[in-house]
Structure 1
């Protein structure tokens, strides 16, 4: 399943690395790409991964998910 996350607070390469690491640690995540310009993260995972788990991982990294869109 592919999802696009809009994340508040992405402003530099360090932010990108922190968000990437937080998402890659979740079970079932296959790939992550974070774009500092658009403040989005592209996530591919198995369908069992819940949006609440994604939000919690981002929150724990110090950022906030504004929207999760399935594509």
Structure 2
């Protein structure tokens, strides 16, 4: 059985370090088991092993210094 996935859009990323920062912070959210960030589109895809609150993902993105503009 595959893990549920969610896709968001992150604004403000301009380089590989930005991607690394977002990936690192979002990976700390309880329930997140995989994180994929695409710099060119701002797409943030997460796989989870349990329900994850959008507010927790938003907080992690903001902690990294960026803005979550959509779930």
- Answer whether TM exceeds 0.5 for this pair: yes
Structure 2 unaligned runs (5+)?
none
Q: Distance in 2 between matches of 1:61 and 1:15?
A: 8
Aligned counterpart, 1:29: 32
**TM-score, with length taken from structure 2:** 0.89
Distance 2:50 2:67 in 1: 22
For 1:58, which of 57, 61, 67 is the aligned residue? 61
**Post-superposition offset of 1:23:** 0.7
Distance 1:26 1:6 in 2: 17
Once superposed, what is the RMSD of the aligned Cα atoms?
Answer: 0.9
| Count of matched residue positions in the alignment of Structure 1 and Structure 2 | 68
Matches for 1:35-50 after TM superposition, within 5 Å: 35-50=38-53
Shift of 1:38: 0.7
Give the TM-score normalised by structure 1: 0.89
Deviation at 1:32, TM superposition (A): 0.5
Runs of 4+ in 1 over 3 A off after TM superposition: none
Higher strand share: 1
